[in-house]
Protein backbone atom coordinates (compact mmCIF):
# COMPACT_ATOMS: atom_id res chain seq x y z
CA UNK A 1 0.00 0.00 0.00
CA UNK A 2 2.72 2.46 0.94
CA UNK A 3 5.15 1.82 -1.89
CA UNK A 4 7.72 4.53 -2.54
CA UNK A 5 7.16 6.53 -5.68
CA UNK A 6 10.30 6.36 -7.81
CA UNK A 7 10.80 8.78 -10.66
CA UNK A 8 13.25 7.06 -12.98
CA UNK A 9 15.73 9.22 -14.84
CA UNK A 10 15.13 9.54 -18.57
CA UNK A 11 18.53 7.97 -19.31
CA UNK A 12 17.52 4.90 -17.34
CA UNK A 13 14.41 4.59 -19.49
CA UNK A 14 16.22 5.28 -22.78
CA UNK A 15 19.28 3.04 -22.24
CA UNK A 16 17.57 -0.29 -23.04
CA UNK A 17 15.97 1.23 -26.14
CA UNK A 18 19.36 2.45 -27.41
CA UNK A 19 21.27 -0.77 -26.63
CA UNK A 20 20.77 -2.51 -30.03
CA UNK A 21 21.90 0.57 -31.98
CA UNK A 22 24.88 1.10 -29.66
CA UNK A 23 25.92 -2.55 -30.00
CA UNK A 24 25.78 -2.63 -33.80
CA UNK A 25 27.42 0.80 -34.08
CA UNK A 26 30.26 -0.34 -31.83
CA UNK A 27 30.85 -3.40 -34.01
CA UNK A 28 30.82 -1.23 -37.15
CA UNK A 29 33.26 1.28 -35.62
CA UNK A 30 35.62 -1.46 -34.45
CA UNK A 31 35.46 -3.08 -37.90
CA UNK A 32 36.33 0.19 -39.60
CA UNK A 33 39.21 0.76 -37.17
CA UNK A 34 40.41 -2.73 -38.00
CA UNK A 35 40.06 -1.85 -41.69
CA UNK A 36 42.25 1.25 -41.25
CA UNK A 37 44.91 -0.86 -39.50
CA UNK A 38 45.47 -3.29 -42.35
CA UNK A 39 42.50 -5.64 -42.58
CA UNK A 40 41.31 -4.25 -45.91
CA UNK A 41 41.43 -7.00 -48.55
CA UNK A 42 43.37 -9.26 -46.17
CA UNK A 43 42.41 -12.87 -46.94
CA UNK A 44 43.77 -14.18 -43.64
CA UNK A 45 41.72 -11.71 -41.60
CA UNK A 46 38.61 -12.44 -43.67
CA UNK A 47 39.11 -16.20 -43.23
CA UNK A 48 39.53 -15.72 -39.48
CA UNK A 49 36.24 -13.83 -39.24
CA UNK A 50 34.44 -16.39 -41.43
CA UNK A 51 35.68 -19.23 -39.19
CA UNK A 52 34.73 -17.37 -35.99
CA UNK A 53 31.28 -16.42 -37.33
CA UNK A 54 30.62 -19.97 -38.54
CA UNK A 55 31.77 -21.39 -35.19
CA UNK A 56 29.45 -19.05 -33.29
CA UNK A 57 26.56 -19.95 -35.59
CA UNK A 58 27.28 -23.67 -35.12
CA UNK A 59 27.37 -23.17 -31.35
CA UNK A 60 23.98 -21.42 -31.55
CA UNK A 61 22.56 -24.27 -33.63
CA UNK A 62 23.84 -26.84 -31.13
CA UNK A 63 22.50 -24.85 -28.18
CA UNK A 64 19.03 -24.59 -29.70
CA UNK A 65 18.52 -28.25 -30.61
CA UNK A 66 17.23 -31.01 -28.41
CA UNK A 67 15.09 -31.02 -25.32
CA UNK A 68 17.80 -29.34 -23.25
CA UNK A 69 18.21 -26.46 -25.71
CA UNK A 70 18.78 -23.08 -24.09
CA UNK A 71 17.30 -20.13 -25.96
CA UNK A 72 19.47 -17.56 -24.15
CA UNK A 73 22.73 -19.29 -25.08
CA UNK A 74 21.49 -19.88 -28.64
CA UNK A 75 20.47 -16.24 -29.03
CA UNK A 76 23.80 -15.05 -27.66
CA UNK A 77 25.71 -17.35 -30.02
CA UNK A 78 23.71 -16.23 -33.07
CA UNK A 79 24.15 -12.56 -32.09
CA UNK A 80 27.88 -13.14 -31.73
CA UNK A 81 27.96 -14.80 -35.15
CA UNK A 82 26.16 -11.84 -36.72
CA UNK A 83 28.45 -9.36 -34.96
CA UNK A 84 31.56 -11.19 -36.15
CA UNK A 85 30.21 -11.30 -39.70
CA UNK A 86 29.45 -7.56 -39.60
CA UNK A 87 32.92 -6.82 -38.19
CA UNK A 88 34.51 -9.01 -40.87
CA UNK A 89 32.70 -7.24 -43.70
CA UNK A 90 33.43 -3.82 -42.18
CA UNK A 91 37.09 -4.72 -41.82
CA UNK A 92 37.56 -6.38 -45.23
CA UNK A 93 35.64 -4.06 -47.57
CA UNK A 94 37.26 -0.93 -48.96
CA UNK A 95 34.17 1.28 -49.20
CA UNK A 96 31.64 2.36 -46.61
CA UNK A 97 28.30 1.58 -48.35
CA UNK A 98 28.34 -2.20 -47.79
CA UNK A 99 29.28 -1.98 -44.08
CA UNK A 100 26.62 0.73 -43.57
CA UNK A 101 24.03 -1.41 -45.35
CA UNK A 102 24.87 -4.40 -43.15
CA UNK A 103 24.90 -2.15 -40.08
CA UNK A 104 21.37 -0.90 -40.91
CA UNK A 105 20.19 -4.46 -41.51
CA UNK A 106 21.75 -5.73 -38.27
CA UNK A 107 20.27 -2.82 -36.32
CA UNK A 108 16.80 -3.47 -37.77
CA UNK A 109 17.03 -7.18 -36.90
CA UNK A 110 18.29 -6.37 -33.39
CA UNK A 111 15.39 -3.97 -32.82
CA UNK A 112 12.93 -6.54 -34.19
CA UNK A 113 14.16 -9.17 -31.74
CA UNK A 114 14.33 -6.69 -28.87
CA UNK A 115 10.79 -5.47 -29.57
CA UNK A 116 9.46 -9.01 -29.05
CA UNK A 117 11.31 -9.21 -25.74
CA UNK A 118 10.11 -5.75 -24.66
CA UNK A 119 6.51 -6.66 -25.54
CA UNK A 120 6.71 -9.88 -23.54
CA UNK A 121 8.31 -8.09 -20.60
CA UNK A 122 5.66 -5.34 -20.66
CA UNK A 123 2.88 -7.96 -20.84
CA UNK A 124 4.37 -9.83 -17.86
CA UNK A 125 4.80 -6.60 -15.90
CA UNK A 126 1.20 -5.56 -16.54
CA UNK A 127 -0.08 -9.01 -15.56
CA UNK A 128 1.94 -8.89 -12.34
CA UNK A 129 0.67 -5.38 -11.52
CA UNK A 130 -2.92 -6.47 -12.23
CA UNK A 131 -2.54 -9.54 -10.01
CA UNK A 132 -0.97 -7.46 -7.23
CA UNK A 133 -3.77 -4.89 -7.44
CA UNK A 134 -6.44 -7.61 -7.27
CA UNK A 135 -4.77 -9.17 -4.22
CA UNK A 136 -4.51 -5.75 -2.54
CA UNK A 137 -8.18 -5.05 -3.19
CA UNK A 138 -9.14 -8.48 -1.87
CA UNK A 139 -7.06 -8.02 1.27
CA UNK A 140 -8.31 -4.45 1.68
CA UNK A 141 -11.90 -5.75 1.63
CA UNK A 142 -11.06 -8.33 4.32
CA UNK A 143 -9.31 -5.64 6.39
CA UNK A 144 -12.34 -3.33 6.12
CA UNK A 145 -14.71 -6.13 7.21
CA UNK A 146 -12.49 -6.98 10.18
CA UNK A 147 -12.21 -3.30 11.13
CA UNK A 148 -16.02 -2.96 11.03
CA UNK A 149 -16.41 -6.12 13.14
CA UNK A 150 -13.86 -4.90 15.69
CA UNK A 151 -15.52 -1.47 15.78
CA UNK A 152 -18.92 -3.09 16.43
CA UNK A 153 -17.47 -5.16 19.28
CA UNK A 154 -15.85 -2.07 20.79
CA UNK A 155 -19.11 -0.12 20.55
CA UNK A 156 -21.01 -3.04 22.13
CA UNK A 157 -18.51 -3.17 24.99
CA UNK A 158 -18.79 0.60 25.43
CA UNK A 159 -22.58 0.39 25.51
CA UNK A 160 -22.42 -2.38 28.16
CA UNK A 161 -19.95 -0.38 30.23
CA UNK A 162 -22.09 2.73 29.88
CA UNK A 163 -25.18 0.76 31.01
CA UNK A 164 -23.33 -0.65 34.03
CA UNK A 165 -22.03 2.80 34.91
CA UNK A 166 -25.51 4.30 34.61
CA UNK A 167 -26.97 1.53 36.80
CA UNK A 168 -24.30 2.04 39.44
CA UNK A 169 -24.87 5.79 39.38
CA UNK A 170 -28.63 5.27 39.73
CA UNK A 171 -28.18 2.92 42.72
CA UNK A 172 -25.76 5.30 44.40
CA UNK A 173 -28.03 8.27 43.72
CA UNK A 174 -31.07 6.40 45.08
CA UNK A 175 -29.18 5.42 48.20
CA UNK A 176 -28.29 9.05 48.88
CA UNK A 177 -31.87 10.32 48.55
CA UNK A 178 -33.34 11.57 51.81
CA UNK A 179 -35.75 9.13 53.37
CA UNK A 180 -34.47 6.08 51.49
CA UNK A 181 -34.58 3.02 53.71
CA UNK A 182 -33.22 -0.23 52.25
CA UNK A 183 -34.69 -2.29 55.17
CA UNK A 184 -38.16 -1.04 54.34
CA UNK A 185 -37.76 -2.31 50.77
CA UNK A 186 -36.61 -5.69 52.07
CA UNK A 187 -39.45 -5.94 54.55
CA UNK A 188 -41.95 -5.11 51.84
CA UNK A 189 -41.11 -8.49 50.36
CA UNK A 190 -39.80 -7.57 46.98
CA UNK A 191 -38.65 -10.61 45.03
CA UNK A 192 -34.95 -11.38 45.09
CA UNK A 193 -32.96 -11.50 41.94
CA UNK A 194 -32.08 -15.06 40.94
CA UNK A 195 -28.53 -16.14 41.66
CA UNK A 196 -26.30 -16.62 38.63
CA UNK A 197 -25.11 -20.19 38.40
CA UNK A 198 -21.66 -20.77 36.97
The SS3 assignment for 42 reads coil
Mean pLDDT of 36-43: 82
What is the predicted pLDDT for the residue at 1? 46
pLDDT digits (tens, 9 = 90+) for 163-182: 888 888 887 887 787 877 77
Q: Which residue in 51, 46, 48, 30 sits closest to 93, CA to CA?
A: 46
pLDDT confidence of 79, banded at 50, 70, 90? confident
Percent of the chain residues topping a pLDDT of 70: 89
For the cut 80, the answer to whether the pLDDT of residue 10 exceeds it is no
pLDDT confidence of 192, banded at 50, 70, 90? low
Mean pLDDT of 152-156: 90
Q: Which residue in 122, 126, 114 sits closest to 16, CA to CA?
A: 114
Distance CA 61, CA 74 (A): 7
Rg (CA), the chain: 42
- Dihedral (CA of 82, 85, 90, 93) sign: negative
What is the predicted pLDDT for the residue at 80? 86
Distance, C-alpha 24 to centroid of its chain:
29
Amino acid sequence: MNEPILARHWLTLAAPKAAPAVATSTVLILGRIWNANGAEHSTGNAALMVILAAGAAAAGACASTGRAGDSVIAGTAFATSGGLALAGVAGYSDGLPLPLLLWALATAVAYGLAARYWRTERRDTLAHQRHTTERREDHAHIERVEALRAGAQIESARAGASYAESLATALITRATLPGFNPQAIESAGLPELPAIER
